[in-house]
Structure 1
Amino acid sequence: MSTLRFGYGSNGFANHRLDDALAVIADLGYSGVALTLDHAHLDPFAEDVARQTRRVATRLGELGLGVVVETGARFLLDPWHKHQPTLLSDEPAPRLDFLRRAAAIAEDLGAECVSFWSGVKPSDVDEATAWQRLLDGISDVLDDTSVRLALEPEPGHFVQHVEQALRLRAELDSPRRLGITLDVGHCVAVEPVSAAECVRRVADVLFNVQLDDMRTGVHEHLEFGEGELDLTGTLAALAEVGYRGLAAVELPRHSHAAPDVARRGLKALRAADWLADAERAVRADPVRIRTLFPAVGRKVGRAALRPEVDPGGLVYGTVDDRGRGRLLAALADSLPPQDLAKEVAELYRYGDGAERRGVLRGLHLLPDEIADTGAGLVADALRANDTGLVAAALGPFAAAHLDDHSWRHGVLKCLFVGVPTAAVAGLADRTDAELIRMVADYVAERKAAGRTVPSDAEAILQEVR
């Protein structure tokens, strides 16, 4: 496993007392907390804030939790207006005061940094003025504090892209105590490159990481697996660049089920971290795949990738299918074609059903030079009556490489054994007159025998009517 340190955001425990939230986070196995200063969680404007801070510092020490301070509370400064005022406002003094208070609390807590964002540009403020206000505000806070500050690019805010944050830092003469907070979900939502590439881009100034899933173009914090984030690749990039700070789950709208959500989050992180480590191991020593490939299901899980529409994982595959595919891709990076073909064939030959299925679903990730080996494995799977193997055999590799005769009989095999034809990659593109004739004969035989006809068979025929 890597040395990454996983934390959880206190804003995802908004319905818990802070002491209880910290205890749950620690009990679940997290290494730290991203502490959002707010009314109910260490209010920086409380009369006894110094006493509270000492108590929280003691509690963090007792629980062995690291901490970063977050400043994204919604209505802490203005009960009527979310996140106002900001550093871009006409009157930024309350925000500047808050950031100074946050820095003082962070220093007393021994926090790794204070994370902040630019805010939304007011409609009546031009770009140049907003940029200057941001430069001035950050410079003032840096001058007045001694802790590290981490600017977070935030979708919809004035600074929403990594490149803007880096440019701003450069214009401030690259102060040592000013770095970047990277929310990897934001990378999915608004950046032109992957979260992993964003990690590499900011590696030298990466002070803080927030972990969540998102979809392209949508700023909505999701649990891992519900969006488009490549979690394994992102964690691999963090390990690759030597990141040693806290990487905290950021799910501020999930407080209603905080303990369960946090438990699922850590399980997903540990699985992805194991898989990233396994990929590195296979690239360094390809023989390792012989022990790692069988372990995938136990380490990352065996659930269907899209259980709501494909509970058996026949169409879209399973979590362990995807994990084994990543190991095959790593193997392909490490071996010449002849050796790769031999190793893949042996993984299939000596594997159990799940391992064979993983090989079949990963064949399209391998170079064309071993297509003959792949075709032989597909042919073997299509001779079986295991629905998982049949479904996996007719994926993208078969669509691209299987000869017409074998492919048609593979489709017919799906109808015979009950595999949804939605599992057949390229069905619409490869359907031809001969397949239509074969399916029509099959349907006629079923009807003549008084047996039900699979809806998938009727659907294939319907396409040509």
Structure 2
Amino acid sequence: MDLKDNLFEIIKVNASQKEQDWIETKANGSLQSMQTAFVATPRFISKTPVNSDITLRGISFETWTLDRLVRAYFLVCLDNSDIEIYIKTLNTLFETAENNEAVALISSLALLENPESWLLRATDAVRTNIGVVFDAIAFDNPYAKTYFSELAWNQLVLKCIFNDKPIHKIQGLDERPNKELAISISNLAHERWAAGRTIPPQAWRLVTNFLDEIILEDIKKLFASTNDNDQLAAALVCKNSEFPLAKSELIKHIELDEKAKNLSWSALEV
């Protein structure tokens, strides 16, 4: 089966017969009809959570609602034989989208024809102040991991950290750590500490492979914290780092060293 058929199979498991009939009618209609259906979807399709463990193009639908899935299906059904009309149609949907429509568009980017062509739309979603739209590109979405430059990737991760969002929901988090990101996390921590605040303990996982004498001073500060999760984050960084001085530092904290032996970053996920 192709992508369209696979999506409809998931829809059939979750939609009533009446909903399926409406979807099939619209999917086989004109371009204008499909555009109208994309906007009108919530009037005819429920917002019930999708029940599926299937992953397509790196997208898991476990956190999706049925109306978002149906909108994604309509996007995949768009005729792309005339690429100019196809791009114009999608750009119109992006430019006129209300929040839920924007969420459907952004979370479906990896399903679109020539997904790399929509990079600007994706990076616009990182810059938005609309939380649900930002979450659609940041969480449970393979697009950023696959297509973002290092700069754009770092901006996404740092915005999540800055806003205390759950970074463990970012796909590719452990695949795309980099030195610049580690330095930025250290700098952000210093700014927060100066203001009497902290950063989420889990953020420190991203400095593990880039530990040096400078960032190790940050880890020492975490060991001295009164926050248990900060201390555990310090222990996990030192446990997983290849930096020799990190192992020496961990030995100084015997109790945390013991805890870290049976601990993973998932223990700090919130």
TM-score, with normalisation over the residues of structure 2?
0.62
Q: Which protein shows a greater Rg?
A: 1
Q: 1:279 to 1:396 in 2, by over 3 A?
A: farther
The residue number in structure 2 matching 1:388 is 132
What is the CA deviation profile of residues 337-372 of structure 1, one whole-angstrom value per residue up to 9, with x for unaligned ones? 32222211211110110100100001100122x522
Any idea what SS the aligned residue of 1:452 has? coil
Q: CA RMSD for the aligned pairs?
A: 3.1
Tell me if the contact between 1:279 and 1:326 (Cα under 8 Å) persists in the aligned partners: no
Q: 1:354 to 1:375 in 2, by over 3 A?
A: same
The residue number in structure 2 matching 1:292 is 37
- More deviation in 339-348 or 315-324? 315-324
Q: 5+ residue gaps in structure 2?
A: 52-60, 208-235, 242-270
Any idea what SS the aligned residue of 2:175 has? helix
What is the CA deviation profile of residues 149-197 of structure 1, one whole-angstrom value per residue up to 9, with x for unaligned ones? xxxxxxxxxxxxxxxxxxxxxxxxxxxxxxxxxxxxxxxxxxxxxxx89
Answer yes or no: is 1:401 the counterpart of 2:147: yes
Any idea what SS the aligned residue of 1:430 has? coil
The residue number in structure 2 matching 1:123 is none
Any idea what SS the aligned residue of 1:427 has? coil
Distance 1:276 1:418 in 2: 42
Tell me if the contact between 2:94 and 2:102 (Cα under 8 Å) persists in the aligned partners: yes
The residue number in structure 2 matching 1:327 is 74
Any idea what SS the aligned residue of 1:292 has? helix
Q: 5+ residue gaps in structure 1?
A: 1-195, 198-228, 235-267, 307-313
Q: 1:334 to 1:417 in 2, by over 3 A?
A: same
Distance 1:396 1:327 in 2: 20
- Count of residues paired in the alignment: 196
Any idea what SS the aligned residue of 1:428 has? coil
Tell me if the contact between 1:443 and 1:453 (Cα under 8 Å) persists in the aligned partners: yes
Which of these residues, 149, 153, 160, is aligned with residue 414 of structure 1? 160
The residue number in structure 2 matching 1:432 is 178
Tell me if the contact between 2:161 and 2:199 (Cα under 8 Å) persists in the aligned partners: no
What is the CA deviation profile of residues 277-326 of structure 1, one whole-angstrom value per residue up to 9, with x for unaligned ones? 425523442222221112223433335558xxxxxxx9934333222211
In the TM superposition, 1:18-417 aligns within 5 A as 230-233=9-12, 268-270=14-16, 273-275=18-20, 277-303=22-48, 305=50, 316-331=63-78, 333-368=79-114, 371-372=116-117, 374-394=118-138, 395-417=141-163
Tell me which amino acid in the other structure corresponds to 1:325. Answer: A
Tell me which amino acid in the other structure corresponds to 1:434. Answer: E
Q: 1:342 to 1:276 in 2, by over 3 A?
A: farther
The residue number in structure 2 matching 1:126 is none
Tell me if the contact between 1:443 and 1:457 (Cα under 8 Å) persists in the aligned partners: no
Q: By how many angstroms is 1:392 displaced? A: 1.1
What is the CA deviation profile of residues 27-58 of structure 1, one whole-angstrom value per residue up to 9, with x for unaligned ones? xxxxxxxxxxxxxxxxxxxxxxxxxxxxxxxx
What percentage of residue pairs aligned between the two structures are identical?
23
Distance 2:21 2:164 in 1: 35
Q: 1:296 to 1:403 in 2, by over 3 A?
A: same
Tell me which amino acid in the other structure corresponds to 2:88. Answer: K
Q: 1:275 to 1:441 in 2, by over 3 A?
A: farther
Distance 2:73 2:123 in 1: 23
Distance 1:349 1:294 in 2: 13
Distance 2:201 2:32 in 1: 45
Any idea what SS the aligned residue of 1:425 has? coil
Distance 1:447 1:303 in 2: 43
